[in-house]
Structure 1
Amino acid sequence: MSKPTASRSVSSFADLPELYAELIATPDFEASFGDPLPLTIMERGEEPAEYDMPEPIAAQAECGGIIASIFDLFTDTRLEALAPEVAWGMVNSLHFVAGKLERREDQLADNIRDMARRLEPGEVFMKELEDNQLECQSVAEQREAIEAMRDYAAAMYRTCSGRPWSPARGSRASQVTTASQISALDFLRVRAEKRRDRYDPQGPIVVVSGPQKWHDVRIIWNRLDQIRARIPRMMLVTTGQRLGVDVIAAAWAAQRGVHLVTYGIYGRGASAGFKRNREIAALMPVEAILCEGSGIQQALYELFNPQNGHRVPTHVFLASEQASDIPIKRRRRVIPA
């Protein structure tokens, strides 16, 4: 006789968000809140004290609920078109706080390394070292919790808007998310410094580039799925645009849990885009997808297929090969199942 499964009754609709979050709560999310230090330092200069972390299930439910509520409130009203912009700002506020905590954590870690090199006898020095260590650990706990909340809110944003959440600048990396979106500036700096592993994802690089006006999602997703079947540890590099082909590829990376490096244009002048192309080619990609666009894509194709030197297998899609454009009015999801 099979053992009966435990069930939880729902007394009202108000209980549904909490129940849903409880059912889908991930171990990684809970780990970011679980097993905190016995003592923590809330702010610099304060004495260590005992504080509990928020309940992970409640944190997950509230973060998802905030984003979903914005879309529910604005749907079928004059504000519907603004829902993605407002919800993006909600996620970005968590991202901003996580960034501040990360910078503070790095500063404290540097202080600890300096003190460890000049280790001095005496109670005052040892007390200062211990306080720095506890504060650094406390800030790391706060950062991991805020990053977990940000990533869950970003996942809800993608579900409601049909496109992945991306920071306006910088990177989104954490121990919780299955797919990190790394800015090329962070990626190159950390690859040179070997400072933080989570900013230096490893794996064969596949490049995607195309115009900002491109409507055929499936032609790109299908080809990326084929490449990933052959290269399961692939890392995706895009040219960092916020519309069109790059956004379609970013949505695929978020859905499939593939690391993404957004390689935007850094610098001014007409040559900045072509300089970016040369830097992408220097990453030695193993495969590429190029969609018909401007001279930027043409220049990339020539770099990937030189007469002599390193050749990159390149899949080229012409604009005329796209499936018919389907009107998207009132359509909430734009990514394929």
Structure 2
Amino acid sequence: MYDSFTSQLAGLDLAGFSVTPAPFDQTDFPCEAAVEQTLGAVWSDLFALLADTALAADAEDLAWGFVNLFHRAASRKSGQLDRASDEIRALLASADGSEIHSSNLEEQTLRAQSAEASMQAFEQMREVAALLYRDETGSSWKPVSGSRASHSKNLTSAVIDARDFLRARAERRQAAHSPEGTPVVFAGGRMRFDSDADARTYADNIWATLDKVRDAVPDLYLVHGGDGKGADRLAASWAERHDVQQLTFTLDRRLGARAGFKRNEQMLSLAPRYVVAFPGNGVTERLVIEARKQRITLVDRRGPLGSYPAASRSQ
């Protein structure tokens, strides 16, 4: 078997063939218009294919995976960027002034810049796909774990100093994960409804309430639990459609029964301008109690279908 394989290789014409690393000095990326047009066409054709078939029920899962394709690609590039940044730090720490060292440093800086540019390009594709997902499902797309932070889309081919690159990299990473503005906490649970009309009324009440809150706090960013179902999902969809930043505090399952109450503490530690409360469980009730103790203005919508509770109609 081995002799046969080697003899086949020997018979191949490999003249001019070489194996080289993937290029890292390319600066051409798909333009935004091309990304939107191409992904829109793929999306339209794919889900038209599923319509009125036995696979229609799986369309939302497939749609989520479509967005996640670009999210994972961006994450891989982010990992490459981190590794290149670590190498830059090591080279800076061992600087000896030699030409070889300077050449290695320049190459690693170029690799890092290339990885960052590629990451931003994939993030752009992810955001376009996420908008298609939102329009298709009515919900904001989010990854299974981690954040969906977007870094600057302004790409540059300028060669910059390695120290400046690391400093800018750290600042951009922090900015991508730090919402700006005034925090507003939103809380509510999963509900069951007697009819589609009741479900629609509940959703409309959430969106109308958040519209009024944004009128009062134009620079708000929305703080919530990130639940993929129920009130959090409706609030996230509202934020997505209005380009409002979101900060999600998911449950730390290691805390067991305390997880929800710990999350309340974390959200209230932001000193929010408002706490918006819709019907929920005991954790939501505790959030309301603590907000009142801290004299945080409460927007109470824990009545039927997200209306004012009977005892709070004066709020």
TM-score range, shorter chain: 0.7 to 0.9
- Tell me which structure has the larger Cα radius of gyration: 2
- Amino acid paired to 1:68: S
**Other-structure match for 2:186:** 208
Q: Which moved more, 1:70-79 or 1:273-282?
A: 70-79
**Other-structure match for 2:302:** 318
After the TM superposition, which residues 223-262 of structure 1 pair with which residues of structure 2 at under 5 Å, given as runs? 223-262=209-248
Alpha-carbon distance in 2 for matches of 1:270, 1:69: 46
The one of 270, 278, 284 equivalent to 2:265 is 278
Higher helix fraction: Structure 1 or Structure 2? Answer: 2
The one of 24, 38, 47 equivalent to 1:71 is 47
In the alignment, structure 1 residue 161 sits paired with structure 2 residue 137: yes
**Other-structure match for 1:291:** 278
Question: Could you list the per-position Cα deviations for residues 149-185 of structure 1 after superposition, in whole angstroms to 9, with x for gaps in the alignment?
Answer: 01001101111111111111111111469xxxxxxxx
In the alignment, structure 1 residue 174 sits paired with structure 2 residue 150: yes
Aligned CA distance change for structure 1 residues 303 and 53 (closer, same or farther; 3 Å):
same
In the alignment, structure 1 residue 62 sits paired with structure 2 residue 38: yes
In the alignment, structure 1 residue 106 sits paired with structure 2 residue 90: no
What TM-score results when the alignment is normalised by the length of structure 1? 0.72
Gaps of at least 5 residues in structure 2 are 1-18, 154-169, 193-198, 308-315
Aligned CA distance change for structure 1 residues 86 and 198 (closer, same or farther; 3 Å):
same
- Amino acid paired to 1:223: T
- Amino acid paired to 2:223: V
CA contact 1:286–1:313 (8 Å) conserved in 2: yes
Aligned CA distance change for structure 1 residues 99 and 48 (closer, same or farther; 3 Å):
closer
Q: Secondary structure at the match of 2:82?
A: helix
Gaps of at least 5 residues in structure 1 are 1-42, 178-192, 324-337
Alpha-carbon distance in 1 for matches of 2:95, 2:204: 60
**Other-structure match for 2:205:** 219
**Other-structure match for 1:328:** none
CA contact 2:24–2:114 (8 Å) conserved in 1: no
CA contact 2:26–2:114 (8 Å) conserved in 1: no
C-alpha RMSD over aligned residues? 2.3
Alpha-carbon distance in 2 for matches of 1:209, 1:176: 30
Aligned CA distance change for structure 1 residues 112 and 73 (closer, same or farther; 3 Å):
same
Task: Give percent identity, aligned residues only.
Answer: 31
Detail structure 1 runs of 4+ shifted over 3 Å in the superposition: 43-52
Alpha-carbon distance in 2 for matches of 1:146, 1:261: 22
Alpha-carbon distance in 2 for matches of 1:270, 1:314: 25
Q: Which moved more, 1:98-107 or 1:204-213?
A: 98-107
After the TM superposition, which residues 5-24 of structure 1 pair with which residues of structure 2 at under 5 Å, given as runs? none
Shift of 1:267: 2.6
What TM-score results when the alignment is normalised by the length of structure 2? 0.77
